[in-house]
Amino acid sequence: MIIVLKTGTPAEEITRISQELSNTWKVTVEKSIGTHKVVLGIIGDTLSIDKLQIQETSPWIEQVLRVQQPFKRVSREFRNGEASEVIVPTPNGRVFFGEHHPIVIIAGPCSVENEAMIVETAKRVKAAGAQFLRGGAYKPRTSPYAFQGYGESALDLLAAAREATGLGIVTELMDAADLPAVARVADVIQIGARNMHNFSLLKKVGAQDKPVLLKRGMSATIDEWLMAAEYILASGNPNVILCERGIRTFDGKYARNTLDLSVIPVLRSLTHLPIAIDPSHGTGRSEYVPPMAMAAIAAGTDALMIEVHPNPAKALSDGPQSLTPEKFDRLVQEMSVLGKVVNRWSTSVFDSVAQSQLLLAARTPKADRP
């Protein structure tokens, strides 16, 4: 259930309404501040609550609505139809993920292999236009005999790359026991597809404040994916980015997975959370990555995660889907053309509040502008 307050509602009245609701109905009340409205979300047993009773508690209440979706905090309704943003501080400045901000690029190798390789790759992807370096320290692999990552020592190498370039770090967490070590280095903690249903792990990352990039499970429905995100938000962390990375369907002959770009408009209607697309895992073949990245921009993605390796043929994991730095340079140049057409591109997204306002104004019809 949500309560939409009228524009200009005094702060003391918001506090009073929240306390009265909490004390009367024994529910949790969460405040969400949108562009134009303040929304109070009511979490708990709301079936017995009469909407009219709530409406009568204050003349500042504009509307009382029930959230119909099983995922409450994640739903678009919970923010009265407005999108949220995830703000990530990095050494180069803050980066904003969200539909009213420039597209964010996350790039780097599947696995951290050695210091020279990860630092050089970080420098190359930054020069091309990336704001985040991705790299796996802990690697979930189908085979127990495949390379599993170098663990905590690889985190130190990611920290070195961060120090050398100022890029934010995105790296995967597989085990709650490694959370302190990963959180020490990561600016965004990735929960991989295989752990999307690891609810105890979701609760752990929900109980800390680092942003979380939640990848869709290999066979997960959209509702299951959003309920996984609900676990994180319900545990206290509102900073979640949803990442589509391809799902398993009946045809695996020509591509590793089926990249479901239709989730972008679907998620836009269902959730306020930012959306990322991973065309590398989504296709499994480097030659398919550029067209799928371009298609994701056209469909409205907020971020792209692209694998880049200096020598894909010798990569310890996922070489076939990795771009060389030279190919990544060309792809970013091509993406910039399309990104500018859809008003989602900037030469730098660091500390991009003013740039985002300009982009939003460019997408707003003149008749609707103040």
Q: Is 110 in the same domain as 39?
A: no
Q: Is 101 in the same domain as 201?
A: yes
Domain boundary among 33, 66, 99: 66
CATH of the domain at 271: 3.20.20.70
Domain count, the chain: 2
Q: Is residue 368 part of a domain?
A: no
- Measuring CA to CA, which residue among 42, 47, 45 is closest to residue 31? 42
pTM for the structure as a whole: 0.88
What is d(CA 99, CA 76) in angstroms, rounded to the nearest whole number? 13
Question: Can you give the pLDDT at residue 363?
Answer: 52
Q: Is 24 in the same domain as 102?
A: no
Q: Is 278 in the same domain as 139?
A: yes
Question: Can you give the pLDDT at residue 80?
Answer: 87
Question: Can you give the pLDDT at residue 162?
Answer: 97
Q: Is residue 73 part of a domain?
A: no
What is d(CA 198, CA 191) in angstroms, rounded to the nearest whole number? 9
Q: Is 90 in the same domain as 26?
A: no
Q: Is residue 369 part of a domain?
A: no
CATH of the domain at 55: 3.30.70.1140
Q: Is 155 in the same domain as 289?
A: yes
What is d(CA 2, CA 49) in angstroms, rounded to the nearest whole number? 12
Q: Is 210 in the same domain as 306?
A: yes
Q: Count helices and strands (H / E) in the chain.
A: 12, 14
Question: Can you give the pLDDT at residue 369?
Answer: 43
Q: Is 137 in the same domain as 238?
A: yes
What is d(CA 355, CA 224) in angstroms, rounded to the nearest whole number? 35
What is d(CA 361, CA 229) in angstroms, rounded to the nearest whole number? 30
For residue 250, give both structure tokens. 């009946």
Q: Is 294 in the same domain as 170?
A: yes
Q: Is 289 in the same domain as 223?
A: yes
Query: Which residue stretches of the chain have pLDDT < 50?
Result: 352-356, 358, 366, 368-370
- Measuring CA to CA, which residue among 293, 304, 306, 369 is closest to residue 334? 293
Q: Is 142 in the same domain as 252?
A: yes
126 — phi, psi (to 5°)? Answer: -65, -45
What is d(CA 326, CA 324) in angstroms, rounded to the nearest whole number? 5
Q: Is residue 184 part of a domain?
A: yes
Q: Is 40 in the same domain as 159?
A: no
Q: Is residue 178 part of a domain?
A: yes
Q: Is residue 364 part of a domain?
A: no
Question: Can you give the pLDDT at residue 192?
Answer: 96
**Residue 316 Cα to chain centre, angstroms:** 26
Question: Can you give the pLDDT at residue 370?
Answer: 41
Q: What is the separation, in whole angstroms, between the first and last Cα of the chain?
A: 31
Q: Is residue 81 part of a domain?
A: no
Domain boundary among 66, 100, 119: 66
- DSSP code per residue over 195-228: GTT-HHHHHHHHTS-S-EEEEPPTT--HHHHHHH
Q: Which domain holds residue 52?
A: 2-66
Domain boundary among 11, 36, 66: 66
What is d(CA 80, CA 71) in angstroms, rounded to the nearest whole number? 14
Question: Can you give the pLDDT at residue 149?
Answer: 73
Q: Is residue 77 part of a domain?
A: no
For residue 227, give both structure tokens. 């309920």
**Residue 311 Cα to chain centre, angstroms:** 28
